[in-house]
């Protein structure tokens, strides 16, 4: 365990009947790391993410955030302690505008609430405008989110998770459902919005080009177990990763 250890999973196991979704997982993630989780469908990436955020509880093992055990805590408490997440299918409040979605995200992050003060205050508005600006969402601010394109909905979902200023941000397939030509602009916007905050980012991704370009560490999963963990070139050239994850004979890392 390093001094900067932020998130630690120790001997974590999880099964759904006969299916082993997490097989003795040991992962240590330091502050500021940009980590991608790769693996084929059903490899255990999302199960790991769901256990870290409290949606699923491990059968055995322990998960620590800043050396405090969070294994059995509920998602709400884990969020309050510093882990936020976005979703593969954006979980946003459909009948509301993007601005209102962020207002609610801001409201949930505030420790004290007044029951008789209008939430649409200038102070809150300025903060939301800054977030919208950071994610290049200004032009969509007052549009109902159900009308917004997929990439914008993804950005809004991530922006909502970021409002709380978490220590760790988990992104579940940030580019899924987005057209090939939109992926890089989307990831550039996300990377720019997250830069300079010392934020630890963990993201699940299937696109290996995205993985290589936007993460400084890759963890590969196969049948619930971690089969490789390291920098891009090491992991993507690992024989097991080639065999079970990428299906490629040789990968030239861009990092």
- List the one residue from 1, 19, 26, 120 that touches other proteins (CB under 8 A): 120
Query: Which CB sits closer to other proteins, 108 or 231?
Result: 108
Query: Shortest approach of other proteins to residue 219 CB, angstroms?
Result: 22
Hey, what are 156's tokens?
């809004």
Q: How far is CA 168 from CA 9, 30, 190, 237, in A?
A: 14, 10, 15, 28
Query: Which CB sits closer to other proteins, 65 or 241?
Result: 65
Report the run of H or E that residue 13 belongs to, with start and end: strand 5-16
Query: Shortest approach of other proteins to residue 240 CB, angstroms?
Result: 33
Phi, psi angles (nearest 5°) of residue 93: -90, 100
Using the rule CB under 8 A, give the single segment among 134-142, 156-164, 207-215, 247-255 that binds other proteins.
156-164
Q: Is 164 in the site for other proteins (CB under 8 A)?
A: yes
Q: Is 153 in the site for other proteins (CB under 8 A)?
A: no
Q: Is 122 in the site for other proteins (CB under 8 A)?
A: no
Using CB under 8 A as the binding rule, the residues of this chain from 42 to 81 that contact other proteins are: 53, 74-76, 79-80
Q: Return the SS3 of 96.
A: coil
CB atoms < 10 A from the CB of 164, how many? 18
Q: Report d(CA 146, CA 169) in Å as an integer.
A: 24
Strand partners of residue 83: 168
Using CB under 8 A as the binding rule, the residues of this chain from 99 to 118 that contact other proteins are: 100, 103-105, 107-110, 113-118
Q: Is 32 in the site for other proteins (CB under 8 A)?
A: no
Instruction: Tell the residue number behind the tokens 């405090």, with chain if given.
Output: 68
- List the one residue from 20, 56, 119, 136 that touches other proteins (CB under 8 A): 119
Q: Is the dihedral of CA 62, 67, 69, 73 positive or negative?
A: negative
Query: Shortest approach of other proteins to residue 45 CB, angstroms?
Result: 18
Q: Report d(CA 141, CA 106) in Å as an integer.
A: 15
- Residue ranges binding other proteins (CB under 8 A): 53, 74-76, 79-80, 84-85, 91-96, 100, 103-105, 107-110, 113-120, 160-161, 163-164
């Amino acid at each position: 365990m390093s001094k900067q250890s932020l998130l630690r999973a120790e001997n974590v196991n999880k099964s759904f009947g006969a299916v082993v979704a997490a097989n003795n997982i040991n992962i240590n993630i330091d502050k500021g790391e940009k980590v991608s989780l790769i693996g084929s469908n059903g490899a255990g990436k999302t199960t790991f993410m769901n256990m870290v955020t409290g949606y699923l509880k491990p059968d055995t093992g322990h998960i620590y955030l800043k050396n405090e055990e969070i294994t059995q805590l509920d998602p709400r408490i884990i969020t309050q302690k510093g882990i936020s997440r976005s979703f593969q299918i954006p979980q946003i409040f459909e009948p509301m505008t993007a601005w209102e979605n962020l207002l609610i995200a801001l409201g949930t992050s505030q420790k004290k609430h007044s029951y008789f003060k209008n939430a649409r205050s200038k102070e809150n508005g300025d903060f939301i405008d800054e977030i919208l600006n950071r994610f290049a969402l200004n032009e969509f601010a007052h549009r109902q989110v159900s009308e917004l394109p997929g990439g914008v909905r993804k950005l809004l979902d991530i922006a909502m998770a970021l409002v709380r200023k978490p220590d760790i941000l988990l992104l579940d397939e940030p580019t899924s459902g987005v057209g090939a030509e939109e992926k890089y602009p989307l990831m550039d916007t996300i990377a720019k919005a997250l830069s300079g905050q010392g934020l630890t980012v963990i993201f699940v991704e299937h696109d290996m080009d995205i993985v290589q370009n936007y993460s400084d560490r890759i963890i590969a999963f196969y049948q619930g177990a971690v089969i490789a963990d390291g920098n891009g070139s090491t992991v993507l050239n690992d024989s097991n990763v080639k065999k079970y994850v990428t299906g490629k004979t040789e990968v030239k890392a861009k990092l």
